[in-house]
A = this chain, B = another copy of it.
């Protein structure tokens, strides 16, 4: 088969691929990920690039005649037949962006040790729980007595005996590779060695035996694998200190923006392989950067804990997720066994361990179990709620007695998918919007203050709220064509509202909100709210009975609660009930990495949580439809919004 050379601009990045490879796959190979919401189905039109050279492309309606004339093609529908030069416009590229890396409030105390050597969790709600400091992998320096004729137990027994002098480990394991090296190693290091002891599926494994005393150098990685974003911490397992945090795009986004499109892609030839490598490469790059910056040897990273939704965990381990998208939505595994990180392709010490936080069901994964762990919800006396608004909107309700959860299929709208100018919160993304109801004047704030190139989630929440407040859309979300505002225009067959005109934008095109966008956004917000309400109702409660609502997810930090309530995304309860926790998935992964007690706890949490399949509930469709209004059909559910509207009207 002929090989084709595909050169990407900017950056002059090159991929040499087989003839017939599509440009989307080539871009990943070249290290220049390109957006694609639909997973390469040619539907979303997000992967527009300009191409020159030998290729075959399918004409698609997502491209205007102008664009086609200018050489634009859809990368996913264009296959190389020879060498190709590709130029990727900014709106199609995934670049390093403003991603939540702090762990906000909960993170403040996670990883700190009290004098007793324990990890403290000190939440605002006044709960206090202490996990013992028992990392997934610990190092133990041993000064072994050399063998004599009187004390001639085998090398392995000598090692075990000395370990057991300081640790109570009834069942210990060691791999053959370590047994093979043992004899030479012990003698070559004058019987002074450091063992790394890892907790592995109910037993303790002697993961490593190293010459000399290396016990001061023991590191681990805690990784939150989101559908959209991957965030990794490098942690000193001895002190619990976070040495660095790194966030990047999940490069799988090129193959589909939400988990369903990824699962569909995984069913294609080589699909699973590609998705697996995309996430593994991203995690490896992060860990490599982190150790580089911290001056840590990669071999001293002895374990990793990953928390992700069920699809992400499956793709990380290259386990076929396809069964999850068909009724009855059953994943191959919720709690996957601890494996050697190398088995999954994760580059730390070649014998290092990888543990994935267990999930509950196909659509409530380890990220949520980790979130519950981090939030302390499972120990709360009064019922609390955790809402994680990622690409899925997962909701947990409960306390120390019971835990229920559901997933709301929020869709990717709040993360920039399925909306015309949607993008993630990167350079040039509109994240704050204000509309003067009288003059229809628009003020926007972009990430980095750069010229606007698109709108991110918090920007869309503002838009919806402000457009509603200014009467540009009605409570059903219909753009009012007769609104006295020049920004409202009919484009093709739908009404649109322009935030930034082409002349001021960073793309040379209008940055606008279309009727279809509004409909999508309302469906997303309605799905989250309806799910939360269903869950509360199922327990015979109302939102008033919920003591605290924790907001998790990378999105959480930029979420303006007041405006979210205004559009009916979040329930209208006193603002002081809301607690921003930031990336609870990462915080939980870190706890599980640093404390085996926390790891056991998160397994317990995953087992305790009762998953509620909303699709199976006949009441859900009504609840959902009732939520497709701004803020809701039943305005009494949103008293403060009602009040605000009444004030405005006055």
A-side interface residues toward B, CB under 8 Å? Answer: 147-149, 151-158, 170-171, 173-176, 179-180, 182-184, 187, 201-203, 317-320, 322-323, 327-337, 339, 343-344, 361-362, 611, 613, 615-616
State whether B320 touches A613 (Cβ < 8 A): no
State whether B152 touches A337 (Cβ < 8 A): no
**A179 partner, pick from B184, B319, B327, beta carbons under 8 A:** B319
**A611 partner, pick from B152, B158, B613, B616, beta carbons under 8 A:** B152
Distance between Cα atoms of A528 and B477 in the complex (Å): 98
**A327 partner, pick from B149, B154, B180, beta carbons under 8 A:** B149
State whether B155 touches A330 (Cβ < 8 A): yes
Which 7 pairs, one residue from A and one from B, show the smallest C-beta to C-beta distance? Answer: A171-B202, A156-B333, A183-B332, A154-B334, A147-B330, A149-B328, A173-B201
Would you give 19 A-B contacts (Cβ < 8 Å), ordered by A? A147-B328, A147-B330, A149-B329, A149-B616, A151-B328, A152-B611, A152-B613, A154-B333, A155-B333, A157-B334, A175-B337, A176-B337, A179-B333, A179-B337, A182-B332, A182-B333, A183-B319, A183-B331, A203-B203
* Known interface pairs A149-B613, A335-B156; A322-B176 also in contact (CB < 8 Å): no
Distance between Cα atoms of A541 and B329 in the complex (Å): 73
Min CB–CB distance A350 → chain B (angstroms): 16
Taking the full assembly, how many copies of this chain does it contain?
Answer: 2
Chain B residues contacting A203 (CB-CB under 8 Å) are: 171, 201-203
* Known interface pairs A203-B201, A337-B175, A343-B176; A323-B187 also in contact (CB < 8 Å): yes
Distance between Cα atoms of A362 and B180 in the complex (Å): 16
Q: Which residue of B lies closest to A359 (CB)?
A: B154
* Known interface pairs A171-B202, A184-B320, A203-B171; A330-B179 also in contact (CB < 8 Å): no
* Known interface pairs A319-B183, A322-B183, A336-B179; A330-B173 also in contact (CB < 8 Å): no
State whether B334 touches A156 (Cβ < 8 A): yes
Instruction: Beyond A154-B333, A155-B333, A179-B337, list 14 extra A-B contacts (CB 8 Å).
Output: A147-B330, A149-B327, A149-B613, A152-B362, A152-B611, A152-B613, A153-B334, A154-B335, A156-B335, A170-B202, A175-B339, A176-B319, A179-B319, A183-B320
Q: Which residue of B lies closest to A319 (CB)?
A: B180
State whether B149 touches A179 (Cβ < 8 A): no
Q: Which residue of B lies closest to A611 (CB)?
A: B152
Chain B residues contacting A323 (CB-CB under 8 Å) are: 155, 183, 187
State whether B176 touches A331 (Cβ < 8 A): no
Chain B residues contacting A173 (CB-CB under 8 Å) are: 201-202, 337
Distance between Cα atoms of A42 and B156 in the complex (Å): 35
Chain B residues contacting A616 (CB-CB under 8 Å) are: 149
Chain B residues contacting A329 (CB-CB under 8 Å) are: 149, 152
Chain B residues contacting A317 (CB-CB under 8 Å) are: 176, 179-180
State whether A332 touches B155 (Cβ < 8 A): yes
**A331 partner, pick from B148, B155, B184, B187, beta carbons under 8 A:** B155
Min CB–CB distance A205 → chain B (angstroms): 9
Distance between Cα atoms of A344 and B175 in the complex (Å): 12
* Known interface pairs A174-B337, A203-B171, A330-B147; A320-B156 also in contact (CB < 8 Å): no
State whether A201 touches B330 (Cβ < 8 A): no
* Known interface pairs A330-B154, A330-B155; A180-B335 also in contact (CB < 8 Å): no
Distance between Cα atoms of A148 and B328 in the complex (Å): 5
Chain B residues contacting A170 (CB-CB under 8 Å) are: 202
Distance between Cα atoms of A344 and B176 in the complex (Å): 9
State whether A179 touches B332 (Cβ < 8 A): yes
State whether A156 touches B611 (Cβ < 8 A): no
Distance between Cα atoms of A184 and B326 in the complex (Å): 13
State whether B201 touches A171 (Cβ < 8 A): yes
Min CB–CB distance A198 → chain B (angstroms): 14
- Most chain B Cβ neighbours within 10 Å, of A151, A179, A332: A332
Min CB–CB distance A297 → chain B (angstroms): 26
Chain B residues contacting A337 (CB-CB under 8 Å) are: 173-176, 179
Chain B residues contacting A322 (CB-CB under 8 Å) are: 183
Distance between Cα atoms of A157 and B183 in the complex (Å): 40
Min CB–CB distance A345 → chain B (angstroms): 11
State whether B339 touches A176 (Cβ < 8 A): yes
Q: Which residue of B lies closest to A156 (CB)?
A: B333
Distance between Cα atoms of A183 and B339 in the complex (Å): 19
Min CB–CB distance A344 → chain B (angstroms): 7
Min CB–CB distance A384 → chain B (angstroms): 25
State whether B201 touches A332 (Cβ < 8 A): no
Chain B residues contacting A147 (CB-CB under 8 Å) are: 328, 330
Distance between Cα atoms of A153 and B610 in the complex (Å): 11
Chain B residues contacting A176 (CB-CB under 8 Å) are: 317, 319, 336-337, 339, 343-344
Distance between Cα atoms of A323 and B180 in the complex (Å): 12
State whether B152 touches A361 (Cβ < 8 A): yes
Min CB–CB distance A357 → chain B (angstroms): 14
- Most chain B Cβ neighbours within 10 Å, of A184, A323, A361, A616: A323
Chain B residues contacting A182 (CB-CB under 8 Å) are: 332-333
Chain B residues contacting A158 (CB-CB under 8 Å) are: 330
Distance between Cα atoms of A146 and B147 in the complex (Å): 57
Q: Which residue of B lies closest to A201 (CB)?
A: B173
Chain B residues contacting A335 (CB-CB under 8 Å) are: 154, 156-157
Min CB–CB distance A144 → chain B (angstroms): 11
- Most chain B Cβ neighbours within 10 Å, of A180, A182, A318: A180
Min CB–CB distance A313 → chain B (angstroms): 11
Distance between Cα atoms of A212 and B368 in the complex (Å): 36
Chain B residues contacting A333 (CB-CB under 8 Å) are: 154-157, 179, 182
**A180 partner, pick from B149, B175, B318, B615, beta carbons under 8 A:** B318
Distance between Cα atoms of A331 and B322 in the complex (Å): 49
